Structure 1
Amino acid sequence: MVRLLVNDLNVSYEENLIVKDLNIHIPDKKITTIIGSNGCGKSTLLKAMTRIIPYRAGIIAFDGVRIEDEDTKSLAKKMAILPQITENAVGLTVGELVSYGRHPYQKGWGRLTQKDSEVIDWALEVTGTAAYKYQLIDTLSGGQRQRVWIAMSLAQETEMIFLDEPTTYLDIAHQLEILMLLQKLNKEQERTIVMVLHDINQAARFADYIIALKDGQVVKAGSVEEVIQREVLKEVFQIDAEIGRDIRTHKPMCISYDLLKGEECLNEKVTYSDTSVINART
C-alpha cells in the first residue's frame, strides 16, 4: 500500500536545482532508507516531503491530497520529522520537550489535557526515557537526547516519521540502539519510518525499501536485494564494492570496496576493507 507519492519533483535553492524530475513512493508501514553521497539531495527530498521547504514543480501527495493543500495542524497529525540538527533545548526538561509534540492537538491556551499527559508518558516509556522526565535535556548523553527527540516525534501520534541522519555524531553502540528502537516502533506500532542514512550496511540491515539517489535523481529504488548491488553502489558512490551476506539478517552487505577515481577509475583504485561495518561516506 502507498500513501505518500512523489511525481516529477523539482526542488531548488535559488537557481540551483537540487532534486530533478524525481518519482518515488513510500511504502506504508515499512522502513524506507534514503542513501547517496553528500550533496545528492537526500535531506532536500526529506524536507520537501514534509513541507519544510517548498518545491518548484511536481506533486507530493499524501492519501491523494497535495501536501500544500493540507492544513498545517492536520498535516502535523500525519507526519513528524526529526531533522539532522535539532534545535537548542537548553533549559528544558525532557518532559517539557516531549510535550511539544502535542502542539497539533492543543487549542486555546494550549494547556495539556489528561490525554496529552498520557501520550507523553507513553512516548517516554516506549523510548526508554521515562526515567529522565524531569532532567534537563543538556545533562543527557547524545544517545539519550536522540531518544528524547524521537519521543517528541512519537507524542505527535503520527503514522509516518521522517528522520534525517538520526545516528549522526553517535558512537556505534548508540547508533545501533537508535536504529533498533526505530525498528521496534515499526514492528510493534506499525509506524512508517523514512530516514536518511550514510552507512550502507545500516541501511541494508534495517530497511524494507531503499531509495538510492545521485545528483538529485533516483538511481535505483526497491528492496534491499535490488539496491545493495555492485553496479548500483558503483554509480551512486563511485566505489567498486564486494557484496556479501550479513550473518545475522542474511541481507546483502558491503564487506569491502575500492574507491574509483577520475577518468581512469578502472585502473586507479584505493582499497579499503572492513569485515564488520563500512561507513561509506564520499
Structure 2
Amino acid sequence: MIRLSTDQISVGYGENLILNRLNVDIPDKRITTIIGPNGCGKSTLLKAVTRIIPYQSGAAILDGEEIAKMNTKLLAKKLAILPQTPEGPGGLTVGELVSYGRYPHQRGFGRLTKQDMDVIDWALEVTGTQDYKYRPVDALSGGQRQRVWIAMSLAQETEMIFLDEPTTYLDMAHQLEILELLERLNIEQERTIVMVLHDLNQAARFADYIIAMKDGNVVQAGDPESVISHEVLKKVFHIDAEIGRDPRTAKPICITYNLLRGEQEERPLAEQLHPDEETTLPVYRAAVHS
C-alpha cells in the first residue's frame, strides 16, 4: 500500500536544481532506505516530503492530500523527522526533550496531561532511555542522545518516521543498536520508517525497499535484491562491486569493490595491472561511504 508519494517534484536552491521532476513511492508499514552519493538529493528529498523546505513544482502527496497544503498540527500527527544533526535548547533534561514530541497533541496552554506523561514514559522505555529521564541531554554519549531523539519522535505518536543518516558519528555497536530499534518499531508497531543511509550493507540488511539516487533522479528502486547489484552500484557510485550473500540474513552484501577509472571501467582486471605490479589487491570490506 502506498500512502506517501511524490508527483514530478522539483526542488532547488537558487538556480541549482537538486531534484528534477522526481517520482517516488514510499511503501506503507515498511522500512525504506535511500542511498546514493553525496549531493545526489537524498536529504533534500526527505526535507521536501516532510515540508522542511518548499518545492518549486510538482507535489508530495500523503493520504491523497498535498503535503504543502496540510494543516501543520495534522501533518505533525502523521509524520516525524529526525534531521542529520538534531539540536535542541541547551540545558534540557531527557524527559523535557522527549516531551516536545507531544506538541501536536496539546491544546490551550500546552500543559502535559496524564496521557502525555504516559506516552513519554512509554517512548523512554521502548528506546531504553528511561534511566536517563532526569539527566541533561548534553551529558549523554552520541548513541544515547540519538536514542533520546528517537524517543521524542515516538512521543509524537506518528505513523511515519523519517531519519536523515541516523547512524552518523556512531560506532559499529551503537549503529546496530539504533537500526535494530527502528526495525523493532517497524515490526512490532508497524511504523513506516524512511531513512537515508550511507552504509550499503546496513541498507540491504534492514530495508524492505531501497531507493538508489544519483544527480537528483532515481536510478533504481525496489527490494534489496534488485538494488544492491553490480550494475546498479556501477551506475550510482561508479564502482566495480563484488556482491555476495549475507550468511545470517541471506540478503545481498557488498563484499569488496574497486573504483572505476576512465578506460579501466570496461577492461578486465588482469589487463588493468602492469606486469611488474603486485597481483594481490587489498580487500576493502567496509561498505561504500558516499
Same fold by TM-score, threshold 0.5 exceeded? yes
Name the residue aligned to 1:122: 122
Q: How far apart are the structure 2 equivalents of 1:183 and 1:71? A: 29
The amino acid of 1:273's aligned partner reads V
Pick closer, same or farther for the CA change 1:260–1:111 going to 2, 3 Å.
same
Would you say the 8 A contact 2:88–2:97 is kept in 1? Answer: no
Would you say the 8 A contact 1:36–1:212 is kept in 2? Answer: yes
Per-residue CA deviations over 1:227-267 (Å, capped at 9, x if unaligned) read 01100000000100000000110000100101112455335
Name the residue aligned to 2:54: 54
Name the residue aligned to 2:110: 110
Matches within 5 A, 1:251-262: 251-262=251-262
Name the residue aligned to 2:138: 138
Name the residue aligned to 1:280: 288
Would you say the 8 A contact 2:83–2:163 is kept in 1? Answer: yes
* Structure 2: segments with no counterpart, 5+ residues: 274-280
Would you say the 8 A contact 2:254–2:287 is kept in 1? Answer: no
Q: How far apart are the structure 2 equivalents of 1:260 and 1:174? A: 32
Superposed structure 1 runs of 4+ greater than 4 Å apart: none
**Bigger Cα displacement from structure 2, 228-237 vs 84-93:** 84-93
Shift of 1:272: 5.5
Q: How far apart are the structure 2 equivalents of 1:5 and 1:272? A: 42
Name the residue aligned to 2:169: 169
Name the residue aligned to 2:180: 180
The amino acid of 2:287's aligned partner reads N
Q: How far apart are the structure 2 equivalents of 1:108 and 1:125? A: 28
Shift of 1:18: 0.2
**Bigger Cα displacement from structure 2, 18-27 vs 201-210:** 18-27
* TM-score, scaled relative to structure 2: 0.94
Q: How far apart are the structure 2 equivalents of 1:204 and 1:19? A: 24
**Bigger Cα displacement from structure 2, 154-163 vs 104-113:** 104-113
Q: How far apart are the structure 2 equivalents of 1:216 and 1:273? A: 31
Pick closer, same or farther for the CA change 1:259–1:272 going to 2, 3 Å.
farther
CA RMSD of aligned residues (A): 1.5
* Structure 1: segments with no counterpart, 5+ residues: none
Shift of 1:127: 0.3
Q: How far apart are the structure 2 equivalents of 1:272 and 1:171? A: 23
Shift of 1:24: 1.0
The amino acid of 2:129's aligned partner reads T
Number of residue-to-residue matches in the alignment = 280
Name the residue aligned to 1:5: 5
- Report the structure number with the largest CA radius of gyration: 2
- Give the secondary-structure state (helix, strand or coil) at the position aligned to 2:259: strand
The amino acid of 1:168's aligned partner reads T
Matches within 5 A, 1:1-282: 1-262=1-262, 264-267=264-267, 273-275=283-285, 278-282=286-290
Shift of 1:89: 4.2
The amino acid of 1:117's aligned partner reads M
Q: How far apart are the structure 1 equivalents of 2:69 and 2:86? A: 27
Shift of 1:7: 1.2
- Give the secondary-structure state (helix, strand or coil) at the position aligned to 1:257: strand
Would you say the 8 A contact 2:34–2:213 is kept in 1? Answer: yes
Would you say the 8 A contact 2:256–2:283 is kept in 1? Answer: yes
